[in-house]
Chains A and B, each alone.
Chain A
Amino acid sequence: MLKRKRILILLIPALVLYLGLFIFPAIQALWVSLHKWTGFTADMEFVGLANFAELFRDETYWMSMLTTLKVIFIGGAGIFLLAFLFTFFLSSGIKGKKIYRAIIFYPNVVAPIALATFWSFLYNPRFGLINGLLRLVGLESWTRTWTGPDLVFWAVMVALVWTYVGFYMVILLSGTEKIPADYYDVARIAGANRVQIFFRVIIPLIWDVLVIAVVLWIIMSIKLFEFLFAFSGGVAAPRPLWTNAVYMFMLTFGRRVAIYRIGYGTTVAITMVILVVIFSGIARLAMRREKVEF
């Protein structure tokens, strides 16, 4: 028994750091959310649930919630649709699968700030690549202010889908790789074509991987910040890009004048956690089915 206990020493550094600098602040955030707090050096004033009550009246908050949901669902739909298409294609035994996979994944290793820089130039209305190309081929009338208030959300969505589709495709593909080859053979002999094989064999067999991918996207999309923030103007980021994550930052650190709303910003952050819990819970429940063993 003594020997068994000694092994726990190996756990201590990670546990202490994790409890002290992750779990403890996470719990502390609940406490902070019950306060009015205007600056880190100012005193905290206990206001009970007033911050939560304010959420219901705060139009900017609900706008940011709507934008968050749009990112989750519209961005997610784009990403998963394309990830499925690419998985369908790359898992069908074509040549050069690895190199295609590697290229589609590559934006995931690049700093979001660097990608945002490139995309904001691409969309630049005056000398950006898109408008430049349109002028070059004589479609002057198609040029747009892509980062204007009406289009900026969609412009960012396109960039976002391009960036992240590779990550989810790799997850789905890795699921297909553990399917034994004779499953395909049996299906083929039974007369199934590639589309049938994909929907009837591959998708059911990678279902558990798909659930993980969906949950990962929910977490990733709710906390997504860099891309939206850096895309156009930082603290001047246009309203259509304000998700909960951006709004939280604007309330706390992103102020141009140093009158912070730290307690309220933390309240917004708590609702982000609630959102993660609700949506990943729903995704797990809705997608629950018997595990296929092979």
Chain B
Amino acid sequence: MANPALVARQKFRNGAIYFLLSLWIAFSIFTFIWILYTSFKSNKELYAGVWSLPKMIHIENYEKAWNVVNLKRYFLNSVLITIVSIFFLTFICTPAAYVLSRFKFRFSDFLNNLFIIGMGIPYQLLLIPLYKMFLGFRLNDSLIGLGIVYIALSIPFTTYLMSGFIRSLPSELEDSAMVDGCSELGTFWRIMFPLAQPGIVTAAIFNFIFLWNEYLLALVFIMREQKRTISLGLYSIQSAMLFTADWVGLFAAVVIVMLPTVLLYVILSEKVMAGITLGAVKG
């Protein structure tokens, strides 16, 4: 460290990285703030200056997005399908993860790998066979059908995350419960399931973010306007822009789409980070 040229060079390098990082963060914050304040402008103001702040709060942009272009309907569809899917995923994947991570049986390694493989398969492979199957069940173009697809396709990830979480828990409590004569199923529901709550919450957050933002599957499975999820709805508004040129209304819709996941993230970002750590580091 004695060499002053070396020190200077290192300082410069650190300064450069720091500058880049600050710029990056400033831009990221800016994207959110810009979308937010633009959604309160009028189109006239927007065309006059894309960078300027609104002079008046045009709350009617939101009214229009919510009611006139029917974002309300898409929003409720997405709330419904997301919540119901997460509910089922919790009760389907937590037990499976418990068995896969705690018990050794003849096919346990094979099954563990089978679930992991699912995370590497692009959904595109499944689109055609699934669509054909759901057409046969008359479950295409319905929120129930899409919900079933969401649940099935989220099983590998949810099971994997829950397995990682359950492995990180000590097994003494289960052991002593079984010694006390608690059945294995009873041990799961009374001991393991409550203990797994933090993992369940983490999985629920991730699934909420995935499913709320999901687009490809909804695009394939949903046709009718009134069945659209929020991403489909937003995209249809964006497409209609060619004719309406109502940018501020579009950005009001963007805010409505962003808000649930961003709010969740602001409140629970530590959980999100912990979940990624759990998945990537311990997995």
Contact = CB atoms under 8 A, between A and B. Distances in A.
Interface of A: 3-4, 6-11, 13-15, 17-18, 20-26, 28-29, 32, 40, 82, 85-86, 88-89, 98, 100-114, 116-118, 120-121, 127-129, 132-133, 136, 162, 167, 170-171, 174-175, 177-178, 193-195, 209, 212-213, 216, 219, 222-223, 225-226, 229-230, 234, 245, 248-249, 252-253, 262, 265-266, 268-270, 272-273, 276-277, 280
A109 B122 contact: no
A18 B118 contact: yes
A193 B132 CA distance: 60
28 contacts: A3-B184, A7-B99, A7-B188, A11-B95, A14-B159, A22-B121, A22-B126, A22-B156, A26-B125, A29-B126, A40-B131, A89-B17, A89-B18, A105-B272, A111-B261, A114-B234, A118-B35, A120-B238, A121-B247, A127-B46, A129-B34, A132-B49, A132-B50, A175-B281, A193-B10, A265-B128, A269-B122, A269-B128
A276 B215 contact: no
B28 interface: yes
A262 B128 contact: yes
Q: Which of A209, A223, A277 gathers most chain B CB within 10 Å?
A: A223
Nearest to B237: A117
A8 B129 CA distance: 29
B12 to A, nearest CB: 12
A113 B234 contact: yes
A6 B184 contact: yes
A174 B270 CA distance: 12
Contacts of B188: 7, 10
Given A85-B17, A102-B273, A226-B231, 5 more contacts: A6-B185, A11-B100, A114-B258, A212-B280, A253-B127
A9 B277 CA distance: 30
Interface of B: 1, 10, 13-14, 17-18, 20-21, 24-25, 27-29, 31-32, 34-35, 46-47, 49-51, 91-93, 95-96, 98-100, 103, 105, 111, 114-115, 118-133, 135, 148-149, 151-153, 155-156, 159, 183-185, 188, 209, 212-213, 215-216, 219-220, 230-231, 234-235, 238-239, 247, 250-251, 254, 257-258, 261-262, 264-265, 269-270, 272-273, 276-277, 280-281, 283
Contacts of B1: 193
Contacts of B149: 21
Q: Which of B17, B50, B231 gathers most chain A CB within 10 Å?
A: B50
Contacts, number: 261
A219 B122 contact: yes
Nearest to B96: A14
A234 B122 CA distance: 20
Given A6-B184, A111-B230, A174 B24 contact: no
Contact of A9 (B17, B115, B185, B254): B185
A101 B273 contact: yes
A29 B131 CA distance: 11
Contacts of B231: 111-114, 226
A17 B130 contact: no
A10 B114 CA distance: 17
Given A13-B96, A88-B17, A253-B220, A177 B277 contact: yes
B93 A249 contact: no
B126 to A, nearest CB: 5
B95 A245 contact: no
Given A111-B234, A226-B215, A13 B92 contact: yes
A110 B213 contact: yes
Nearest to B238: A117
A109 B265 contact: yes
A226 B114 CA distance: 27
Contacts of A219: 119-120, 122
Contacts of A113: 213, 215, 231, 234-235, 238, 257
B151 to A, nearest CB: 7
Contact of B264 (A14, A85, A109, A194): A109
Given A23-B114, A132-B50, A178-B281, A276 B122 contact: yes
A213 B119 CA distance: 14
B276 A25 contact: no
B18 A253 contact: no
Nearest to A222: B122
B196 to A, nearest CB: 12
Contacts of B220: 253
A60 B27 CA distance: 36
Contacts of A88: 17
Contacts of A22: 118, 121, 126, 152-153, 155-156
Contact of A230 (B93, B119, B238, B262): B238
Q: Which of A88, A104, A113 gathers most chain B CB within 10 Å?
A: A113
B51 A112 contact: no
Contact of B216 (A23, A111, A225, A270): A225
A194 B17 CA distance: 13
A132 to B, nearest CB: 5
B25 A103 contact: yes
A273 B188 CA distance: 36
A223 B123 contact: yes
